[in-house]
């Protein structure tokens, strides 16, 4: 196939994309702009052609060597800049033919401090090619720039960025063949936490219809106010004209200030209740209940979430290698922590949603690649949805698994997830041995 440059005539103005491997893309589109420590401003309409042929900048972030050990050099070669409020749209080559297509909006994880929406191992090509979806991958502000409210910066700036991206989708996605009335948020880890909180965010009404929440650390969302104040005090003063290098260098101080906070210290940056666009913490459960009729929910976790963090943390990794009973005791702690942070809160979220009249499905991913010390850990679900052999080759997470086996294991998962994005419904029970289990949660069913 000869690559061409498709021109998308959006209401915001013409966008020139690019074609690759049988799909069409528009990469690095600026959906909003924001001054340091200020809320985003929607990108204005433009008469000239917007060149969307290359990835946009990544939010500046503090490197994490341990994370790189697990996920490989994911950010190698990327440009870092605060002008990072960008998104990438991937669509089938016949996007302009037939009825509008369901839209997935991908919200990446990374503990609210790392990553970007359009990394190579998040490539939605398999979902788009097999299922005919339109996928939007969003990058937003992280860490010190997006999720630490202090004297000079409102909290939840990254969450406001995501709302701006969803407004862009509503205005423009039809030009890419997408159906603005069938938008599904697909969030992983902190991205799943963000997606769950967007359900009750001020200004989110009508921006999306469904949510798929992978490994959302909902068990860490509550009781964070005191920790947030301590983190803000640890970096004060931090005016907007502080050099970027100084802002990033303050992040370890903020993280150290959170260490007394128990499990929450494992993800010190995050959403803050009572700051725009979120309600007070005491009002959040009722707000989720009130929103339940407006959203279909598919939520779940992997079989052994916290093993990911045990493997990448050198002290815990050494304990895993010791003779029994030490590894068995550590595994018990991993299992208990996984249940408290991810598995239990996911089940509770699904039950509350169903009782309030919403449609909810609860899933579990037991997938365990051969030869992987990570096992069925946090992030092991991602290659079942995204990426290619080339993208995942440098990632130790997959152990000795051959990519054709991973791709085959993921194909029915992609089918079910696309069906959910299209209709909000799945079979009451799904069992893919060694890969996926899904069950509808009964409540006040529609």
Active site residues: 189, 305, 378
> Between the CA of residue 358 and those of 229, 235, 290, 297, 367, what are the distances in Å?
35, 42, 10, 8, 28
List, in sequence order, every beta strand (DSSP E) within 190-320.
210-214, 296-302
Query: Helices 344-355 and 284-291: crossing angle, nearest 10°?
Result: 50
Helix-then-strand count for the chain, H and E: 15, 16
Which residues make Cβ contacts (< 8 Å) with residue 242, sequence separation at least 6? none
* 170 close to 285: Cβ distance less than 8 angstroms: no
C-alpha radius of gyration, the chain, whole number:
21
Cα distance between residue 305 and residue 300, in whole Å: 11
Cα distance between residue 34 and residue 185, in whole Å: 23
> Between the CA of residue 238 and those of 62, 235, 242, what are the distances in Å?
17, 7, 6
Cα distance between residue 404 and residue 388, in whole Å: 10
| DSSP SS3 for 115 | coil
Pull the structure tokens for residue 9. Answer: 């005539």
Cα distance between residue 359 and residue 292, in whole Å: 8
List, in sequence order, every beta strand (DSSP E) within 31-116.
32-33, 41-42, 50-51, 86-91, 101-107
Which residues make Cβ contacts (< 8 Å) with residue 433, sequence separation at least 6? none
Cα distance between residue 357 and residue 300, in whole Å: 19
How far is CA 311 from its chain centroid? Answer: 22
């Amino acid at each position: 196939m000869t690559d061409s440059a498709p021109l998308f005539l959006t209401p915001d103005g013409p966008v020139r994309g690019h074609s690759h491997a049988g799909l069409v893309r528009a990469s690095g589109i600026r959906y909003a702009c924001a001054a340091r420590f200020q809320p985003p401003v929607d990108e204005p309409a433009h008469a000239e052609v917007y060149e969307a042929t290359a990835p946009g900048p990544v939010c500046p972030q503090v490197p994490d060597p341990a994370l790189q050990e697990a996920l490989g050099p994911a950010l190698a070669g990327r440009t870092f800049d605060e002008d990072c409020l960008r998104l990438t749209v991937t669509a089938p080559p016949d996007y302009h033919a037939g009825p509008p297509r369901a839209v997935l909006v991908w919200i990446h994880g990374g503990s609210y401090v790392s990553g970007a929406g359009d990394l190579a191992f998040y490539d939605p090509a398999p979902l788009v090619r097999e299922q005919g979806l339109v996928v939007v991958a969003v990058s937003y502000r992280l860490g010190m720039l997006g999720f630490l409210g202090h004297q000079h910066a409102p909290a939840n700036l990254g969450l406001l960025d995501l709302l701006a991206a969803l407004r862009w989708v509503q205005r423009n996605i039809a030009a890419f063949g997408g159906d603005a009335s069938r938008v599904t948020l697909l969030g992983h880890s902190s991205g799943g936490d963000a997606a769950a909180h967007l359900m009750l965010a001020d200004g989110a009404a009508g921006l999306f219809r469904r949510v798929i929440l992978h490994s959302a650390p909902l068990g860490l969302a509550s009781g964070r106010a005191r920790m947030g104040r301590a983190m803000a005090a640890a970096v004060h003063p931090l005016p907007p004209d502080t050099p970027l290098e100084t802002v990033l260098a303050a992040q370890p101080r903020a993280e150290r200030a959170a260490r007394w906070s128990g499990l929450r210290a494992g993800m010190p940056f995050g959403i803050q209740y009572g700051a725009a666009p979120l309600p007070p913490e005491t009002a959040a459960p009722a707000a989720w209940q009130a929103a339940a009729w407006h959203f279909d929910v598919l939520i779940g976790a992997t079989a052994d979430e916290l093993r990911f963090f045990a493997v990448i943390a050198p002290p815990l990794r050494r304990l895993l290698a010791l003779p029994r009973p030490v590894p068995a005791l550590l595994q018990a702690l991993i299992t208990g922590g996984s249940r408290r942070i991810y598995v239990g809160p996911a089940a509770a979220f699904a039950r509350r949603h169903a009782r309030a009249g919403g449609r909810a499905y609860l899933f579990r991913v037991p997938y365990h690649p051969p030869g992987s010390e990570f096992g069925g850990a946090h992030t092991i679900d991602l290659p079942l949805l995204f990426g290619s052999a080339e993208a995942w080759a440098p990632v130790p997470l997959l152990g000795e698994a051959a990519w054709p086996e991973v791709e085959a294991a993921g194909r029915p998962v992609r089918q079910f997830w696309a069906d959910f994005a299209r209709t909000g419904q799945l079979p009451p029970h799904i069992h893919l041995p060694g890969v996926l289990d899904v069950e509808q949660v009964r409540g006040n069913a529609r």
